[in-house]
Structure 1
Amino acid sequence: MSGFLLRLAGPLQSWGEHSAYGLRDTVAFPTRSGLVGMFAAAQGVERGADLSRYDDLGITVRIDRPGTRTVDFHTVGGGMPAGRTVPTAEGKRRGAEVSTIVTHRAYLAGAVFTVAVTAPDEAAQPIADALLAPHWQPYLGRRACVPDQPLVLRRGVADPVTELEKVPLPPPLPGRRHGHAGETVRVDFVYEGDRVPPGRSGERTVLSDVPRSFSGARRAYATRPVTVLPEELPATLARWRDHNGYLAALYDYVRGTS
């Protein structure tokens, strides 16, 4: 087993878990379905393809910066002429009186996550390579949410979860600060199933985000338990006074010079 490390950052992210119709939610960290969708897109996997190739992936998330939850009031189709209103399932067009579709879409603004992906050696490297030269553009939960660079931090990592203890942390958003405790800083980790460190317990929840099919109306998901635990990391990982200092340290880490 080996793996790779990802950095998920951008102006907006949205990781839906039980979205329906006009309400599009987001959970507080990247979902398994969102990440598998990113990997499948990068590898050129079609929507109706078998997704079992991703079943053996282990995903651990470090919440570097939780961001700010915001909701967009979104409309489609209003004020359009009859021939350009929203189409129906029968191939017709909505009438003017019902042409406007309203949705509320939740996002995480300014969030940053570091993700450790563990997989069999023969699976990890092709996924990481595809993310660096993707077939289809990766995005952070929704197509409008473009990721910042660097996306892939390191490939061929023997123990990606332990490596989460070494990746630089970004500065907090204005008006906030990291939870320092002397020489350490407290950061939440999201562990899957039985991957929780021995002797630890924390906030445990069940998410319906294990994708079985991405095929149109036949999308299907299974459930998985996750546990959120605070971890103490060296305060030196968060010593940057500004974003430029953080980026310099991050690229040093990517190059393997830190």
Structure 2
Amino acid sequence: MSVLLLRLAGPLQSWGSSSRFARRGTEVAPTKSGVIGLLAAAKGVRRTEPLTELLGLEFGVRLDQPGQILRDFQTARSLDGRDSAPLTYRFYLSDAAFLAAVSGEQELLHGLMEALKRPRFPLYLGRRSCPPALPISLGVHEGTVDDALTSWPWLAAEWHRRKAARTVRLEIIRDARPGEPVTETLPDEPVSFDPAHRQHTWRSVLRRHVDVTNDLAERAGVAEHDPLSLLGG
């Protein structure tokens, strides 16, 4: 079994699964539809074309650096300035970083890896206004989505890691497999990106946590707090 690993990081990200009208929200982690859309853009798949070979990919993501929610608002006026559009609120994740993993046929994964190096269409993290930091692809590796999200080194920025403890607990969200307990369902399983009849369905996911080692903690002088140490003789 093989997985393609992706580093999803940038100044701003926005992964909406239920945005409506004047309020454009973001999830706290990349959505499956957003990541499949990114891979489709890299391969040059147009919105009106079927996503056949990408629909069977298993997906998971680890929240390495959750970032902060940032709210922006926008308005627009007609060219003559007489009419104004409704005020819209848009939400983003600022200074976030995620490790994403997709599993599928090895030949397909290698093709996606090469496409990410030379994408046919521009790539963005959920919205066109959110370009990714490079590189995105971390390569194709043997193992499962669980293996990769558990064992891969922490991807948080150095400044973030220097403020953390030696061991950090990170959340993992991945596709639930048949027979597994489902934590929740999310409306982000893509069916079609065609603007005329965009379609998504519900996805069953499993949430869990993993402890990772922070190799910069000791270097920065960060130690686990032991209040009883002051009582030593």
TM-score (ref. length: structure 2): 0.84
Letter aligned with residue 225 of structure 1 = S
Q: Deviations over 1:84-114 (max 9, x none)?
A: xxxxxxxxxxxx34x3232111100000001
Counterpart of 1:169 in 2: which secondary structure? coil
- 1:24 paired residue number: 24
Q: Matches of 1:12 and 1:240 in 2, distance apart?
A: 29
Q: Which amino acid aligns with 1:168?
A: W
- Inter-partner Cα distance in structure 1 for 2:128 and 2:217: 30
The residue type paired with residue 125 of structure 2 is L
Partner of 1:185: 168
Please name the residue that 1:214 is paired with: 193
Does residue 153 of structure 2 align to residue 154 of structure 1? no
The corresponding residue for 1:81 is 80
Pick from 152, 160, 172: which aligns with 1:166? 152
Separation of aligned partners in 2, 1:81 and 1:213: 38
Q: Percent identity among equivalent residues?
A: 36
1:150-188 CA distance string (max 9 Å, x none): 211122x111532331323324776x954x4xx632111
| Equivalence for 1:100 | 85
Q: Secondary structure at the match of 1:140?
A: coil
CA offset at residue 234 of structure 1? 2.7
Shift of 1:2: 1.3
Aligned equivalent of 2:94, options 109, 113, 119: 109
CA shift in 2, pair 1:100/1:131, >3 Å = same
1:66 paired residue number: 66
Deviation larger for 208-217 or 226-235: 226-235
Whether the 8 Å CA contact 1:17–1:26 is kept in 2: the answer is: yes
Structure 1 unaligned blocks of 5 or more: 83-95, 242-258
Asked whether 1:11 is paired with 2:8, we answer no
Secondary structure of residue in 2 paired with 1:49: coil
TM-score by length of 1: 0.76
Aligned CA-pair RMSD:
2.6
1:188-234: CA deviation from partner (whole Å, max 9, x where unpaired): 111211289x8xx68x2211111111111311101102222121123
Q: Which residue of 1 aligns with 2:208?
A: 229
Measured after TM superposition, the shift of residue 35 of structure 1 is 0.5
CA distance in structure 1 between the partners assigned to 2:33 and 2:91 by the alignment:
17
